[in-house]
Structure 1
């Protein structure tokens, strides 16, 4: 079993893919908090979920799996479960963002709950996507590393949401993209390290499709998933800083 059959450059590409998707999605989440109406807020959160869940998480997983192989034996994927993993990723991230980014007022409980939901969305996508894997044999997971992958995703996702949504400096929002990208990538390879495969040379070739057979449509959809939120963010008016609360004038003292 190999994770870098095409070279370690794929790790860098997967990480940068996640950073771009997460940073763009978190920028949309910031816009959602300052939206003029609930309808506009939901639109921004949908764009954020597509960017983070579809590109930052699912596409990163897809890119990383290009380097997965079982030398001398075929690897196939179930298309339905692969598509299902993308849908679950986007919808789960949306749920987390609604909790943490759907209000303009800060709340620690919203941040914690949103971080847990978003972090678990990373794990949900990964292990659902891995259930689509078909090899000559079967495989399971080491429980300790699976638990570690969950912790990595939840902690880093919570930190990224805090950086992006509750701090005003652009540099910290960009840093949030790198933090969340590290969470997604670190969770992926921790989850892959947890795999324990039992290969069987005498087993029939697995059913399904090769990963490269749907490479083109995936990247076309990914380009659209990034282009729409990017255009929306670039065309959005600049966020105005919140005006400080008015201080009531002191009443005149009557002598």
Structure 2
């Protein structure tokens, strides 16, 4: 990873790049599951909100917040003990899920440019805020400064990513293309995260007492297990649910007269 994306006073791949690849895979899988849920929501009236909620949890909760938290495990701040503020982390999770759900509801069932833009901006701002809250939850022995310029870049990338995601979820139907779009979404999430990390500058004072909070691994590991198991719910729902698009097409066909 180029120096442009390295936080001052920290090493973002201190524990190897394997954790970053794990976060990328998790984000891509969650996006693919979310796209399938959105497709079912498009052709469902009675269970539309349930499908969109599952999509928001998959995309915002697992594909964004959990993926960023997993990637954060690879970071090491020089000469400092790191702790994690659970309250800020929970707020970041809630904002990610609610923001994605709001974006999906605003964008509607069919592609409409004004609604896609408004939904993308809403979702993008939420994703950007969630990313920075996740990083702000990291407490160290010292202070953390942020570059406003890189914060702005990260938010712009986030809004572009979310607008494109909403468009893809409505327009792209073929499974191979959805897989490709899910991978591109994961790369976009990584771009937002590492740009946000690059905005951080750590000033460490080893004499400062260990900050309050819990070790990040103690939070992320159980959340990773819960998130991975939680994805089985929408995956199972997608597999057992009827194909509503085909059912709707068949319902519109005239009944042959005998």
Instruction: Output the TM-score relative to the length of structure 2.
Output: 0.87
State which of 35, 55, 68 in structure 1 corresponds to 2:62: 55
Partner of 2:25: 16
Q: Would the aligned equivalents of 2:79 and 2:206 in 1 still touch at CA under 8 Å?
A: no
Matches within 5 A, 1:25-174: 25-35=34-44, 37=45, 39-100=46-107, 102-103=108-109, 105-174=110-179
Partner of 1:251: none
Q: Would the aligned equivalents of 1:160 and 1:179 in 2 still touch at CA under 8 Å?
A: no
Distance change >3 Å, CA 175–CA 117, structure 1 → 2: farther
SS of the residue corresponding to residue 201 of structure 1 reads coil
- What's the RMSD between the two structures over aligned residues? 1.8
CA–CA distance in structure 2, aligned partners of residues 194 and 111 of structure 1: 29
What are structure 1's unaligned runs of at least 5 residues?
Answer: 247-255
Q: Would the aligned equivalents of 1:152 and 1:187 in 2 still touch at CA under 8 Å?
A: yes
Over residues 198-229 of structure 1, what are the superposed CA-to-partner deviations in whole Å (9 max), with x where a residue is unaligned? 11122121111101222442123202321111
Instruction: Give 1:174 deviation, angstroms.
Output: 2.1
SS of the residue corresponding to residue 232 of structure 1 reads helix
Partner of 1:223: 228
- Provide the aligned length of Structure 1 versus Structure 2: 241
More off after superposition, 51-60 vs 194-203: 194-203
CA–CA distance in structure 2, aligned partners of residues 140 and 208 of structure 1: 20
Q: Would the aligned equivalents of 1:156 and 1:179 in 2 still touch at CA under 8 Å?
A: no
- Which structure would you say has the larger Rg? 1
Instruction: Give 1:79 deviation, angstroms.
Output: 1.2
Partner of 1:186: 191
State which of 208, 213, 216 in structure 2 corresponds to 1:211: 216
Over residues 82-109 of structure 1, what are the superposed CA-to-partner deviations in whole Å (9 max), with x where a residue is unaligned? 1121111111111111112x42x33111
Instruction: Give 1:170 deviation, angstroms.
Output: 2.3
Instruction: Give 1:243 deviation, angstroms.
Output: 5.0
CA–CA distance in structure 2, aligned partners of residues 62 and 182 of structure 1: 15
Instruction: Give 1:78 deviation, angstroms.
Output: 1.0
CA–CA distance in structure 2, aligned partners of residues 144 and 224 of structure 1: 38
More off after superposition, 42-51 vs 73-82: 73-82
SS of the residue corresponding to residue 44 of structure 1 reads helix
Instruction: Output the TM-score relative to the length of structure 1.
Output: 0.88
What are structure 2's unaligned runs of at least 5 residues?
Answer: 1-9, 253-258
